[in-house]
Amino acid sequence: MTGSATPTEAQPLTPEQVVSWTRPGDARISPDGERVAFARKPVSKAGEHPESSIWLLPFGAGAPRRFSGGLWNDDAPRWSPDGSRLAFLSDRAERGKQSVYLMPVGGGEARRVFEQQGELSELAWSPGGRYLSVLLTEPETEEEKKRKEERDDAHERDADWKFRRLWLIDLTGEAEAEAGAYPPARVISPEARQVWGYAWSPDSARLAIDTTASPVLDEMFRPHEVALVEVDGGEPRPLFALQGSAHDLTWSPAGDRLAYLAPAARVVHGEYVYARSLDGDEPVCLTPDFAGTGDFLGRLGDELLLLAYEGVDAVLYRLSWDGMRSPLLAHQPAGRVSPPVTVSTDGRRIALVREDATHAPNIWVADLSKSPPELTQRTHFHPELEEAALGEPEVIRWTSDEGVEVEGILFKPHGYQAGQRYPLVVQVHGGPTHHWSNQFAATWHDWAHYLAGRGYAVLLPNPRGSTGRGPDYSNAIFGDVGGGEYRDMMSGVDHLIATGLADPERLGVGGWSWGGYMTAWTVSQTGRFKAAVMGAGLANMVSDNSLGDIPTANLSYFDESPYRDPLAYFERSAIRYIHQASTPTLILHGEEDKRVHPSQGAEMYVALRTLGVPVRFVTYPREGHGIQERKHQLDLIQRVGDWYDQHVRSLQPSTEAGAAKNDISQEV
């Protein structure tokens, strides 16, 4: 990983720049491989509803052009099998409620082809082109609407579930649509089953569906059932059950097997590729002993395409149904790839969204028939971001506990000079089953470039529990939450101090979600950091288990639930050791957060305030676990920079090369 050449007059990213750019996504190559359709979305929401536009791009040469106006939330472009039309989701009929639309690629009016509207996802064509399929979350009934209008709307938790079900739109009835009617549509998944994902069989006669008995998000970490549903109707045929979801269900060319991503060990995360016959045989792992983590699975001609991470970088593999794996590209440039990776019908061309630490996300393509095949960048959105005063990225490794090598990304400050010490901010990733990749870290959530332009070194560590290093590494925090990962992080800080880069007297820490938990845990364990930013973090693992929406996820990391063993959770809660805290802490939280309830931030705030530790608690109305609204993102990133400036950068630099640690750490 190397930094881009940056002119001396380059200016740091402003908060306005951080929240004002647009991100391309969902790149879909046409069946003939000649064009790419993609959605382009602002990174923040300026009004009440999100906006998105669909663009078209020639594969080989030529500029992208806007396909849809961008006045609505136009999303999920999908090519018809003959390449003549695009189906997509849009809320142009009623803002905030999407439906399904069809539009000729050569131009013309978009035509709505689905009477239903609301919360839609996973739009797809049947291979034969007769049907469009989509997942729709059941809308309010007329009785429910009436009760709400009459204020007779008491809500009983888990008693009025709305299931996401699979619908088919039969486009043989399009002629009727010309006369003002919608093509016939029907729901084909069973009642009272939540559909998490599905895939069409090659002959368009069946669909494989991944379902659970409840629609609550916590079901993602519980047993799932994969079943077959026939296009013509009838009862589903159960195929197999598994712990967690069968991600990216993919049919074999003969229609006799299914492949999918699923957990390789206790942590419920889709790490390895498995294949099963439709006859009920045991699963066969196609990626045994893989030292990385699978991230996306799709078809590549008669074989499979696997997008995975090995360390911080994405890699693409051709994977046979017998488990033979080979690199897809002769030269795989370092960086991050956002799923999906889509393939032309003949398997010769691919399209994807790629970025790296100094290049913003853009559309890239490759012709696999060339020797050697290489990725080529086809759009160049937001060069002004790349020309700003960015950090200088470098992948670094250090030793933590004996035999444990940790990897992370160091962003040196803009204008870095060897031999000079800099204030250091450690930003911890969420998850914890996630990782920092080689990415363009310049959003409300990813602070590295914003802070590096202001003179900070920023370390993005991937401690134990992170993905990209195989299941042994991602499962290494089972029974040791906050232990090994804390030591991995702190040893990274010590490494940068020992190299002479980090100033031991000017250290900051922060993160979002699990990164917020690790921030709270860290300030309860040590006084070495001069400032902390706790974003949507949890302070008390006992109470959080009952307040968040995925309590079963904790069983990936603890042996029992806190209802059976509360002490194990309390011992790894910041609130247990909060009397030791002295670090000025900024707490940020969305008021409608269902993942980590804002009361977790409130508990941390009251504790620190009571103890006399400098603390601020900022909440954002209408926001969930992520911050979407533009002015909220603007406020957040400004506060992050100001907090570190006030409590870290403003301090006098250390005059001792190896200043002593001020460590009040509990031994964990």
What SS3 class is residue 462? strand
Q: Which residue is listed with tokens 């052009």?
A: 65
Average confidence (pLDDT) over 392-415: 97
Q: Distance between alpha carbon 625 and the CA centroid of its chain, in Å?
A: 12
Tell me the residue ranges of DSSP E strands in 513-626.
531-535, 585-590, 615-620
Does the structure show a pLDDT above 60 at 8? no
Residue 462 token pair: 């991937």
Does the structure show a pLDDT above 60 at 114? yes
Q: What is the spatial distance between Cα 199 and Cα 183, in angstroms, rounded to a whole number?
A: 22
| pLDDT value at residue 6 | 44
Q: What is the spatial distance between Cα 133 and Cα 125, in angstroms, rounded to a whole number?
A: 6
Which range is least confidently modeled, 87-96, 165-174, 301-310?
165-174
Residue 486 token pair: 């804390």
| pLDDT value at residue 175 | 57
Ramachandran quadrant class, 129 (left: phi over 0; alpha: psi -120 to 50; beta: rest)? left
Q: Which residue is listed with tokens 């109707």?
A: 233
Q: What's 247's DSSP letter?
A: E
| pLDDT value at residue 107 | 80
Q: Which residue is listed with tokens 């908060």?
A: 15
Does the structure show a pLDDT above 50 at 7? no
Q: Measuring CA to CA, which residue among 210, 245, 206, 243 is closest to residue 226?
A: 210
The number of beta carbons lying within 10 Å of the beta carbon of residue 75 is 24
CA torsion angle 353 460 308 403 (round to 10)? 170
Does the structure show a pLDDT above 50 at 440? yes
Q: What's 112's DSSP letter?
A: E
First to last CA, the chain: 34
Residue 344 token pair: 């032309």
Q: What's 255's DSSP letter?
A: S
Query: Residue 101 phi/psi, 5° resolution?
Result: -130, 155
| pLDDT value at residue 648 | 97
pLDDT band at 658 (very low <50, low <70, confident <90, very high): very low
Q: What is the spatial distance between Cα 92 and Cα 612, in angstroms, rounded to a whole number?
A: 52
Instruction: Let me know how long the chain is.
Output: 668
Cα angle 107-112-116, degrees, rounded to a multiple of 5: 160
| pLDDT value at residue 3 | 46
For residue 602, which amino acid is it? A
Average confidence (pLDDT) over 297-301: 96
Does the structure show a pLDDT above 80 at 1? no
Ramachandran quadrant class, 632 (left: phi over 0; alpha: psi -120 to 50; beta: rest)? alpha
Average confidence (pLDDT) over 580-607: 98
- The CA R_g of the chain, rounded to the nearest whole Å, is 25
Does the structure show a pLDDT above 70 at 666? no
Burial call 362-378: b when 16+ CB within 10 Å, e when fewer? bbbbbbbeeeebebeeb
Give 3-state DSSP helix, strand, coil % of the chain, rounded to 5: 20, 35, 45
Q: Using alpha carbons, list the distances in angstroms from residue 333 to 110, 350, 360, 395, 572.
A: 38, 15, 14, 14, 39
Helices 514-525 and 484-498: crossing angle in degrees, nearest 10, is 70
Please provide the average confidence, as pLDDT, over all residues in the chain: 94
In terms of DSSP H, where are the helices of 453-539? 471-474, 484-498, 514-525
Cα angle 53-58-63, degrees, rounded to a multiple of 5: 70
Does the structure show a pLDDT above 70 at 523? yes
Does the structure show a pLDDT above 80 at 247? yes
CB 39 within 8 A of CB 26: yes
| pLDDT value at residue 176 | 58
Residue 54 token pair: 């669909």
Does the structure show a pLDDT above 50 at 659? no
Residue-wise pLDDT for 621-638, tens only, equals 999 999 999 999 999 999
Q: Measuring CA to CA, which residue among 227, 232, 170, 172 is closest to residue 194?
A: 227
Average confidence (pLDDT) over 540-558: 96
Higher-pLDDT residue of 297 and 270 is: 297
Residue 142 token pair: 């007329």
pLDDT band at 158 (very low <50, low <70, confident <90, very high): confident
Residue 139 token pair: 């809308």
Burial call 472-492: b when 16+ CB within 10 Å, e when fewer? ebbbbbbebbbbbbbbbbbbb
| pLDDT value at residue 2 | 47
pLDDT band at 518 (very low <50, low <70, confident <90, very high): very high
Q: What is the spatial distance between Cα 527 and Cα 664, in angstroms, rounded to a whole number?
A: 6
Residue-wise pLDDT for 476-513, tens only, equals 999 999 999 999 999 999 999 999 999 999 999 999 99
Average confidence (pLDDT) over 398-414: 97
Does the structure show a pLDDT above 70 at 99? yes
Cα angle 616-622-625, degrees, rounded to a multiple of 5: 70
Q: Which residue is listed with tokens 């640690």?
A: 661
Q: What is the spatial distance between Cα 586 and Cα 544, in angstroms, rounded to a whole number?
A: 20
Q: What is the spatial distance between Cα 640 and Cα 529, in angstroms, rounded to a whole number?
A: 15
Higher-pLDDT residue of 377 and 158 is: 377
The number of beta carbons lying within 10 Å of the beta carbon of residue 663 is 11
| pLDDT value at residue 664 | 40
Q: Residue 533's beta-bridge partner residues?
A: 510, 586
CB 210 within 8 A of CB 189: no
Q: Measuring CA to CA, which residue among 346, 340, 663 is closest to residue 527?
A: 663
Q: How many CA atoms lie within 13 A of 652 on its CB side?
A: 3
Residue 268 token pair: 């419920």
Does the structure show a pLDDT above 90 at 549? yes
Q: Measuring CA to CA, which residue among 416, 390, 420, 424 is closest to residue 644?
A: 424
- Looking only at the bridges linking them, the beta strands covering 375-377 and 22-29 are unpaired
Does the structure show a pLDDT above 50 at 43? yes
pLDDT band at 149 (very low <50, low <70, confident <90, very high): confident
Q: What is the spatial distance between Cα 224 and Cα 194, in angstroms, rounded to a whole number?
A: 10
Average confidence (pLDDT) over 173-191: 80
